[in-house]
Chain A
Amino acid sequence: MTAEVAIDKPVLRLARAAALAVAALVAAPAALADDAATWLNRAAQAARQLNYVGTILYQHGGHVETSRLIHLNDNGAEFEKLVNLDGPAREVIRSQGEVRCYYPDAKVVRIEPRTFRNAFPSLSPQQQKALGEYYAFRKAEAGRVAGLDAQAWVFEPKDGLRYGHKFWSDVATGLLLKARIIDERGEVVEQFAFTDLAIGGRIDREMVRPSWPPAPTDWVVRAAGPGDVELRDTGWGIARPPPGFSKIVEGFRALRGKKQPVAHLVYSDGLVAVSVFIENVGSAPHPTGLTQQGGTNIFVRQFDDHLVTVLGEAPAAAVRQFAASVTRR
């Protein structure tokens, strides 16, 4: 709910004049926002449309993890297989929108609910505007990543409520080769990079099939039921989200082990997203506070009988601000 306040006429005129001035100011970043949005769209298209096989290095804190990624676009149908190469075996299979996670040591297969993903195939005008207003987008140096000619691009934040992002994309195809999240002190919070990558080679359906049969008899299959994601008004809101963040999706989702569906609101500034989950937990106290995993900050607080969990690829200050201004409409 937006707070409506009575405004007398001179103030209104002043506000209009100010709005015009602001409109003139934002006209310049708009062109830049177009560039940024165009670049993001190209990278997203490349990630979906191309066939590729590569090894990904993921670094966060003192951790280094490697995984193998195979992506196939078979006449518009997307298939993907991700296998981690260190630690206990994990496999994520995406097949035309359905995601299955395999945990062979625990003998568990998790079938993830249908995603919100198709709800917003491209950036809204509002998000494009936010991109230009809250990030300085520029072309950086040319270089090489995974043996391919790469072009670096930088999204530099204009305030302390978002991280800096640097991306390297393949010059020939636009595919993202490397991504880095940088905090306000210039430290790298997390980084993804292909260390080897073959684009455009022949990939069979066989290569993107899971390594285990659909449902091994002694495995536990945890499947999400139909109607697990329901897009609608939740009755919850964020009174003062950090500037530039607007709501892109809202709904309820059934999450494992929860009797009632959990309200899920997603806010975005065009580049990153922050999720707000609200669930009824009764009056029992729950652990609260701030947690960080790579570039993702997680803040948990209790709000009356509800547990509010905010998480996103944004600095702690931003996720806290979301959590602090949760309201019931």
Chain B
Amino acid sequence: MGEEISRLMDGELDDEHLDVVCAQLKRPDGLAAWSCYHVIGDTLRGNTQLAPGFSQRFAARLAAEPTVLAPQRRAARPLSVVWAAAATVAAVSVVGWVAFGTLDAQPTALAKAREAAAVRAAQLNPNRTADYLLAHQESSPTMQIQGIGPSFRPATATAPAAGARP
């Protein structure tokens, strides 16, 4: 289920599966996974400032809704959970903490989601993306007009994970 919710967030889900996943979102564990993945994405993007009592107000308004609708596309594309997993395991534990701090419902589902993210993080080689970005950027024409500075910025931003001891 988590996989499909993650794909829904990334806008990768085809129409066929959309109804199925939206139905899952009506269940508490589905909703918790949805919320958790967004918190993970928001945390990795650094958008963690929520107004006090946000989750309570959100829960109250949500309860008042007759049904859970397919969410609108966000202005900024959410980072996919795969990308989220590319961060260090340490980052994931921070995410978990934030997730628990923000959402007080369904801790079990959240714990599962966190576990899944941690497992994926452990599987992925964070060096891979960083190395690919570096290798790519030096080949890009845009790089030639920007010089090393701007183009290397995303790569160095990725590097904390890559910078871990070999």
Contact = CB atoms under 8 A, between A and B. Distances in A.
Interface stretch (A9-17, A18-26, A232-240, A252-260): A252-260
Contacts of A107: 165
Given A61-B76, A88-B160, A298-B129, A82 B148 contact: yes
B166 A220 contact: yes
Given A40-B141, A58-B153, A106-B164, A287 B124 contact: yes
B142 to A, nearest CB: 6
Nearest to A309: B132
B150 A272 contact: no
Contact of B149 (A63, A69, A300): A69
| Residue from B75, B123, B139, B157 having most chain A Cβ neighbours under 10 A | B139
B124 to A, nearest CB: 6
Interface string B87-127: 00000000000000000000000000000000010011101
Contacts of B146: 47, 176, 179, 192
Given A84-B156, A187-B76, A287-B120, A99 B150 contact: no
A106 B124 contact: no
Contact of A256 (B47, B120, B127, B160): B127
Contacts of B162: 110
B141 A268 contact: yes
A123 B11 CA distance: 35
Given A62-B46, A273-B136, A277-B132, A287 B158 contact: no
Nearest to B131: A255
The A contact surface, by secondary structure, is strand
Given A255-B131, A275-B136, A292-B83, A44 B145 contact: yes
A32 B142 CA distance: 19
A31 interface: no
Contacts of B47: 61-62
A107 B164 CA distance: 9
B154 A60 contact: yes
B12 interface: yes
A290 B12 contact: yes
Contacts of A291: 79-80, 82-83, 86, 129
Interface string A272-316: 110101000000000111111110101010000000010111001
B138 interface: yes
B127 to A, nearest CB: 6
A134 B38 CA distance: 35
B58 to A, nearest CB: 19
A266 interface: yes
| Residue from B127, B157, B164 having most chain A Cβ neighbours under 10 A | B157
B154 A253 contact: no
B135 interface: yes
| Residue from A44, A61, A88 having most chain B Cβ neighbours under 10 A | A61
A129 interface: no
B147 A71 contact: yes
B139 A289 contact: no
B67 interface: no
A107 to B, nearest CB: 8
Contact of B157 (A40, A65, A264): A65
Interface in A65-113: 65, 67, 69, 71, 80, 82, 84, 87-88, 90, 92, 94, 99, 101, 103, 105-108, 110, 112-113
Nearest to B124: A287
A323 to B, nearest CB: 12
B138 A117 contact: yes
A67 B136 contact: no
B43 to A, nearest CB: 11
19 contacts: A62-B47, A65-B153, A80-B148, A103-B159, A176-B145, A187-B75, A249-B139, A255-B132, A256-B127, A256-B131, A266-B136, A266-B139, A272-B142, A287-B123, A289-B12, A291-B86, A293-B83, A309-B132, A312-B140
Given A67-B153, A275-B136, 13 more contacts: A44-B145, A47-B146, A71-B149, A88-B160, A90-B156, A115-B138, A249-B139, A272-B142, A287-B120, A291-B80, A291-B82, A296-B154, A309-B128
List of 4 A-B pairs having minimum Cβ-Cβ separation, nearest first: A103-B163, A291-B83, A192-B150, A273-B140
